[in-house]
Structure 1
Amino acid sequence: MAKVEIYTKAWCPYCVRAMKLLASKGVEPVEYDVTMGGPKKAEMVERSGGRMTMPQVFIDGKHIGGSDDLAALDARGGLDPLLAA
């Protein structure tokens, strides 16, 4: 199974939505809570090409985007192949 990483913040409904979608696929991602900022938030911004919104999802190091991007990828059938890699 692919390595999935997700940057989240507390009380974020989009983060919850993304985590639920991943859980429905049997995925337990590595979660980085960046609520208080710090080095992990700076890392997220750098890895995502400057995106500041949460969540930001990465599969095997590839930037997928946020919750809407993850849901759209799943809707068009592209998520399962990435997770199976």
Structure 2
Amino acid sequence: MKEVEIYTSPLCGFCHAAKRLLTSKDVNFAEVDIAVQPERRAEMMQRANGGRTVPQIFIGEEHVGGCDDLFALERAGKLDVMLAA
């Protein structure tokens, strides 16, 4: 399974929803809380091509996008394929 990384903040409902989806699929993920590590926001924005909002989700080196993008992949049946590749 590919490595998954998600940039979050504690009061973000979309972050919690994305993490719930990943957890429900037994996906281990590395979480970067930008409230605790604000110096990593610039890193997130660079990796996410300017994306400023959380969550920003990466599967392997590929930028998935945010929560809506993650759920769209799941609905399209593409998330499991991305995770397994």
Same fold flag (TM > 0.5)? yes
**Runs of 4+ off more than 4 Å:** none
Q: 2:72 aligns to what?
A: 72
Percent of aligned pairs with the same amino acid: 47
Where in structure 2 are there 5+ consecutive unaligned residues?
none
**Cα offset for 1:36?**
5.1
Q: How many residues align?
A: 85
Q: Tell me the residue number matched to 1:58.
A: 58
TM-score with structure 2 length normalisation? 0.95
The structural deviation recorded for 1:37 is: 5.8
Task: Give the counterpart letter for 2:64 in structure 1.
Answer: I
SS of 1:64's equivalent in the other structure is strand
Task: Compute the TM-score of the two structures, normalised by the length of structure 1.
Answer: 0.95
Q: Deviations over 1:20-70 (max 9, x none)?
A: 000011112100000256321110000000010100000001000000000
Write the mapping of 1:17-56 to structure 2, written as runs, cut at 5 A.
17-35=17-35, 38-56=38-56
Question: CA-atom RMSD, angstroms?
Answer: 1.1
